[in-house]
Amino acid sequence: MSDVIADISMSLDGYVTGPEPGRESGLGRDGEAIQRWVFSSHESPQDRAILEAAAKAPGAVIMGRNTFDFVDGPNGWNAEIGFGYDQPTQSWPPVFVVTHAAPEAPRLTTGFTFVTDGIDAALKAARDAAGGREVVVMGGASVIDQALAAGLVNRLRIHLSPVVMGSGTRLFDLVDERVLLSQSDVVVTPNATHLTYEVN
């Protein structure tokens, strides 16, 4: 059975976006600092290796509707930028979007499945599609929180960025019970501390 990996970048004070994220700016105002390790990966061999490994690993991806709306928007994924940032984007893994209702006329359709029955149904469909490879829950915060709260995550990867945002979209706000973790890996680069936890 596929392992489920929640993978997201976060500021030191727990934010995964800046304030006012939306269709045109998925990271919100000044939120690019949270993803600096990705945008600067061509200057850091360690960050680059982590990015490339993360892009190649998944057999399927889960995202929430807000993340999809940005990905589908004018500044979202295209022939040069997609899952894995600037990795080859001719074909990314199948993506399952957790949403209350499918969008009426999305720009991106090939490879995207809209799941309206919740995170459990999305995970089942993603595991079926992954063929035993990892299922990555890439965000946003709400869908990761839902997966953690439901006990569906095997591993949590946090790319902790050296920035204090002060406001934005927080991770873990929907998790209201203790989740025990075991730290299994730490990689420190100039742009981030890459933390991997096994979920007990």
At 125-173, the pLDDT tens digits run 999 999 999 999 998 999 999 999 999 999 999 999 999 999 999 999 9
pLDDT of 79 higher than 90: no
Which segment of 76-90, 114-128, 170-184 scores lowest on mean pLDDT? Answer: 76-90
CATH code at position 139: 3.40.430.10
**What confidence category does residue 56 fall into, taking pLDDT thresholds of 50, 70 and 90?**
confident
Residue-range definition of the domain harbouring residue 9: 4-199
Q: Which residues contact 130 (CB under 8 A, 6 or more apart)?
A: 2, 58, 59, 60, 93
Question: How much is the pLDDT for 57?
Answer: 86
Question: E strands, 48-200, where?
Answer: 58-64, 95-98, 112-115, 134-139, 155-161, 169-170, 181-188, 193-199
In the chain, the number of structural domains is 1
Question: E strands, 42-199, where?
Answer: 58-64, 95-98, 112-115, 134-139, 155-161, 169-170, 181-188, 193-199
96 exposure class (CB count in 10 Å sphere: 0-12, 13-18, 19+): buried
Q: What is the DSSP letter of 6?
A: E
pLDDT of 60 higher than 80: yes
- Report the alpha-carbon distance of residue 136 to residue 186 in Å, rounded: 19
SS3 content of the chain, % helix, strand, coil (to 5): 25, 30, 45
